[in-house]
Structure 1
């Protein structure tokens, strides 16, 4: 037997795809579902909503005639590009069931599932899970199975009963030719000869069929029955998330987007769980008539998969949007991911902690304290960098530089932290957390070592000059308390005989 016949092909037909890419099943936030809607192409109706079909409208009706039959009809131009995006998106979701997935025409997907049956406890259970997954994504699907891709596509398109254990010649032999996707012109010619079923067609001489209807007609028969190889082009797994929601009625109150955003974020979290990934950044685009009105860029302090966190940060960003007035589409996308490992390195693990014996013992007895503290720190950072303007919340990275003002540099909190310089030692001198960008020169009459308001606590500490970039003066640093309150970090330049305030301890 031909190996092609030993495979099991499952075709997915999405009859309402041209309409469902514009509508969502959650009527609670999309009231447009309850009114008649039609998708048109070249001024003819191609797809109808249930409410439109009830009015008596038919596929193929001119849109001008349709308005006369249904005065409150809403017509949408078919968007082939959006349909292809949806098909690719669905195919990526189905990758959890089989790696052998291909696009099989405008509204069809083809899956080779023979190697997945054992994993999902048989074909019936696999088919049910795929159907439920598609329904959860908001799509109406008809599934059909057979031993060839062509026969599976026909089974789905015409909703034929499953009989995939028998070859197509058995399951489709008595079917009418107009159910087998033959060219309409050939069907009419055969009907005039009294040939209306596949079995009747196969009784005709092959040479005569080829001469009368062409080689492509014969190839269609061979592909249908599996007498000729029908190789499929399968997609490759692309680890990216791009999902969209469209609204027929533009939304003016941005807070009304929370519910549909929750659905998108829920799908994102499910995507991360399925692929065992975390993310640290995602974007939400608010669009109107195909043009972006605002982009929400959400950064996390550490890679995570937390739906409630995603929703909270998105809500905060949404309240900051001022320019967008009307929104008819939201796009949620994420492209960069990290494996979801329980011991993943985070922002504050760039330097190994120097535990004392007591702290090491406490860490062994209560390991959850560290993770809880890290989680709290990340939550605080998430809130800060989401609420504050860009570039006002940043981290610090240590540099291999002895001068205080160049000892550290600001870094984006979302960047992978660089390892600390190898020359760092645990007994480095005391440094304040707050440094002035430019040292503040004191009044020339003030000498902190002689002034009664200053109390020297430590010093001097000599920091040598850097002749290579023009800083040719050495500095003598002191730690002094001012008026029994603030603790200053001061330095004295012998060449100029002047004092400078460089930092604050408290």
Structure 2
């Protein structure tokens, strides 16, 4: 088909006889043969494929490499041709020219929604997701404005991609009117869909933690959304630190700790709570002048809340509330 397409315009082949007739009339230099084979056949006075087909195959096999007969058999359909599978490009790059200069974010949302939908369709066709992409806003006579969206995990839902880009776009001050927008994505890792139970009773508008996290980062900025990681420190006030959400943190090996640690301990305000566990003695910090000597307990208040409380070692004073358990 490729050989005939290079030699004819609008040719239709309906059966094998017509195929053989059209191929036989082709010059040898139009068959896709190697230059060495075409020159060797020309020296024998052969100019067209029909002349080669009239020769005995055994004689051709003796005089020429096996490549010649194999190529002819593939042209005539007698031998299968192994074609390479089409591989879609590994990057997405789509540009939309606007009909007029745009000076507001609101007017950019329509082309942005279309670009997001096209990106989602492209990713679905490749069974991949996107983890980083850039929206280019083109101006006349100056460098493009760029909105870069980085995700902590691969995503390919059109609505989510649109919302994340929209959140960051609204934070950008346009330096000049925009005459074209372009969406570029180069990091396209494999996509693992979020698993949901068959009889999931949560509403369809339920937003998973990963999607909520990305929306918050898009709206508030990357540094506004932080996680917590444990620190090798016995004193509860110093046993944690914030960290960026883009790094996975392994939990530290420690005792039972509350999910909410108060900024400053305060009196419990309840005389006789039910003690569930403890005491756990924590003594540390003598080397820096901020040493503590406390006995910690897990207690349950009259209202059913579970609290982490302590009393200074050797003291008969009140219990101090330091944290709450979920």
TM-score (norm 1): 0.40
Match of 1:393 among 218, 225, 229: 225
Evaluate the alpha carbon distance shift between residue 240 and residue 461 of structure 1 in structure 2; reply closer, same or farther with a 3 A threshold. same
Partner of 2:163: 312
Measure the CA separation in 1 of the matches of 2:228 and 2:205: 20
TM-aligned CA deviation for residue 334 of structure 1: 2.3
Evaluate the alpha carbon distance shift between residue 401 and residue 386 of structure 1 in structure 2; reply closer, same or farther with a 3 A threshold. same
Evaluate the alpha carbon distance shift between residue 406 and residue 335 of structure 1 in structure 2; reply closer, same or farther with a 3 A threshold. farther
Structure 2 unaligned blocks of 5 or more: 14-18, 30-46, 48-70, 72-85
Measure the CA separation in 2 of the matches of 1:309 and 1:273: 14
Structure 1, residues 105-147: CA drift from partner, whole Å, max 9, x if none? xxxxxxxxxxxxxxxxxxxxxxxxxxxxxxxxxxxxxxx933x
Measure the CA separation in 1 of the matches of 2:261 and 2:182: 41
Contact 1:298 1:386 in 2 (8 A): no
TM-aligned CA deviation for residue 377 of structure 1: 3.3
Contact 2:258 2:324 in 1 (8 A): no
Match of 2:294 among 475, 487, 492: 475
Match of 1:255 among 106, 110, 114: 106
Q: Does residue 339 in structure 1 map to residue 201 in structure 2? A: no
Measure the CA separation in 1 of the matches of 2:88 and 2:286: 56
Structure ranking higher in helix proportion:
1
Evaluate the alpha carbon distance shift between residue 269 and residue 504 of structure 1 in structure 2; reply closer, same or farther with a 3 A threshold. same
1:213-252 counterparts in 2 under 5 A?
239-247=90-98, 249-252=100-103
Contact 1:465 1:472 in 2 (8 A): yes
1:416-427 counterparts in 2 under 5 A?
417-421=248-252, 423=253
Larger radius of gyration between Structure 1 and Structure 2: 2
Q: Does residue 8 in structure 1 map to residue 9 in structure 2? A: no
Match of 1:326 among 165, 168, 177: 177
Structure 1 unaligned blocks of 5 or more: 1-6, 10-143, 174-201, 203-225, 227-234, 347-362, 443-447
Structure 1, residues 259-308: CA drift from partner, whole Å, max 9, x if none? 21122112211211111112244332323235133525253x64332112
1:102-501 counterparts in 2 under 5 A?
145-146=5-6, 160-162=9-11, 166=22, 170=26, 239-247=90-98, 249-289=100-140, 290-297=142-149, 299=151, 302-342=153-193, 368=200, 375-398=207-230, 402-405=234-237, 407-413=239-245, 415=246, 417-421=248-252, 423=253, 428-436=255-263, 440=264, 448=267, 453-455=269-271, 457=273, 458=275, 460-465=279-284, 472-477=291-296, 489=308, 491=310
TM-score (norm 2): 0.57
TM-aligned CA deviation for residue 240 of structure 1: 2.6
SS in 2 for 1:274: helix
SS in 1 for 2:222: coil
Equivalent residues, number: 260
